[in-house]
Amino acid sequence: MGKPTGFMEYARVEAQYRPIADRVHDFADIMMLPVDRDTITKQSARCMDCGVSFCHAGIIVDGSSIGCPLGNLVPEINDLVYNGDIEGAYDRMSREHAFPEFTSRVCPALCEGSCTLGEHEPPVTIKNIERYVVDYMLEHGGIRPHPPIIRTGKRVAVVGSGPAGLSCADTLNHLGNDVTVFERADRPGGLLTYGIPNMKLEKSIVEHRIRIMVEENVKFVLNSEVGLDVPVIRLMNDFDAIVLCCGARNERRLDVPGSDMKGVYTALTFLSASTRRLLGIETREESQINAHEKDVVVVGGGDTGTDCVGTAIRQGARSVVQLEILPPQPTERAENNPWPLWPKVLRTEYGQHEAQELFGADPRRYLTTVREIKGEKGKMSSIATVNVEWISNEGRLFPRPVPGSEAEMPADMVLVAMGFAGPERALIDQLQLEVDGRGNVAADNSDFKSSLLTVFTAGDMRRGPSLVVWALQEGRSAAISCDRYLNGEKG
């Protein structure tokens, strides 16, 4: 413990964001940087180095997370930061996962939800401390390639370059295997590149990590969809093992009258087009997907819905409304959601704060769903909604429309951020892989092996739609299992 009385002497200092009036006009990082060393030192002093640290437990209890899935050694990192050893803190951080520059920007900080101090006081600012360490190392050139010295001679194909794929490829490579990553997009990164907007995760950060992996001899084959551009049989013949990290890209879609009108887009279509515009590589079709001077309705909450709100605002939307079919979370933990479970409480994220300041009200409309999208000759003009109430039927909850609550609001663009229904089926069907009850590739937590010999799987494709931090953990674990299969236990 850096300072035994630190948690009693210093109050939690929240992350500072750039002023809304400034940041909504660009796609630059929303954070106010840099953070001064004195502030970070005092924040790390608040860590109690408690006897039983839940912050890095990385387990699921009753469907809720406890601590960091990656097992980040939080107390040790905080102690090193307090004592001024930033390089040592980064080294300790990197022992558990390779991409702290991603998690320090996009992770919801499951560790903080299980911080022991957080049982009675505001928890330690673990995510901000990690961000400081990473940014310090980036600024001072401390994140460099470290290619493995010994090679096993085994060849592994990783399909998909999202967080699970990158984590898997990085781990397999450092274990000495020759790794080739196949990606159907024109750039690696998956949702890190084309799903999460630049103001939350700068694409230069992703590109920097990809360059390091290339210098460490990981090969990336882009614009190549396995099963379409690259025959599956080729991978089976050319590689000793395959790890599928294709994500859960099957987006849920609106099924109401008018949902086929021009101006209705899935969240990923919208966010991807925005990022490609920022990178200067948008297509002619993508150039039309723009919220400028439009009344935008985002259907769905969650991080993706918030990202749609924030992106629409930066594109110059005339108004933004966000519909959520669920009720709002409570402002404090419910009795059935005790510490150290992840706190299921109401949060107002960056996009909602921006909408409040620009449009004068929280954009979220809870317990509301879409009845119809209206317009003439295929051109959208408004959206019809109705309030719902949740009723129980044989132990399950269902939304029921509330009579007399029908309403209508102007809409030129509708962004569907209703989550994901699971992985796409084309490659799964080609390989004739067994799936679970939700349509995910069936593979056990213990070895990540699919029903087909030499084929492993990880990330959202196996566990279902989840967080970046869980995808990173899955990719690493699947890589270790794959390496054991190929090369046996290492001493």
Q: Is 335 left (phi over 0), alpha (psi -120 to 50) or beta?
A: alpha
| Banded model confidence at residue 490, pLDDT cuts 50, 70, 90 | low
3.40.50.2000, 3.50.50.60, 3.40.228.10, 3.40.50.150: CATH of 155-249+422-487? 3.50.50.60
Angle formed at CA 259 by CA 377 and CA 369, multiple of 5 degrees: 130
CA atoms in the 13 A half-sphere facing the CB of 143? 24
pTM: 0.96
Give Cα 286 distance to the centre of its chain: 23
Q: Among 479, 488, 437, 431, which Cα is nearest to 458's? A: 479
Query: Where do the CATH 1.10.1060.10 domains begin and end in the chain?
Result: 6-139
Neighbours of 486 (CB within 10 A): 19
**Residue 393: predicted pLDDT:** 87
Q: Bridge partners of 453?
A: none
Q: Check residue 387 and give its pLDDT.
A: 98
Dist. CA 380–CA 295, nearest whole Å: 10
Q: What angle do CA 210, 214, 219 make, to 5 degrees?
A: 105
CA distance 372 to 375: 10
* pLDDT bucket at 35, cuts 50 / 70 / 90: confident
Tens digit of each residue's pLDDT (9 = 90 or more) over 405-418: 999 999 999 999 99
pLDDT in tens, 120-161: 999 999 999 999 999 999 999 999 999 999 999 999 999 999
Q: How many other C-beta atoms are found inside a 10 Å radius of the C-beta of residue 465?
A: 23
Q: What is the largest CA-CA distance in the chain?
A: 70
pLDDT-derived band at 474 (thresholds 50, 70, 90) equals very high
Does the pLDDT value for residue 491 go beyond 70?
A: no
| Architecture of the domain defined by 6-139 | Orthogonal Bundle (1.10)
| Total count of residues recorded for the chain | 491
> What is the DSSP track for 304-346?
HHHHHHHHHHHTT-SEEEEEESSPPPPSS--TTS-TTSPP---
The answer as to CATH 1.10.1040.10 being correct for domain 264-416 is: no
Asked if 97 contacts 107 with a C-beta cutoff of 8 angstroms, the reply is no
CA 113 to CA 18: how far, in whole Å?
24
Task: Outline which parts of the chain fall under CATH 3.50.50.60.
Answer: 155-249+422-487, 264-416
What is the rounded CA–CA span in Å between residue 395 and residue 339? 26
Residue 469 has pLDDT above 80, yes or no: yes
C-beta atoms surrounding 158 within 10 Å: 34
In tens, the pLDDT along 180-194 reads 999 999 999 999 999
What does the pLDDT look like over 375-405, one tens digit per residue? 998 889 999 999 999 999 888 999 999 999 9
Amino acid (one-letter) located at 327: P
Residues 6+ apart with CB under 8 A from 304: 195, 267, 268, 271, 417, 419
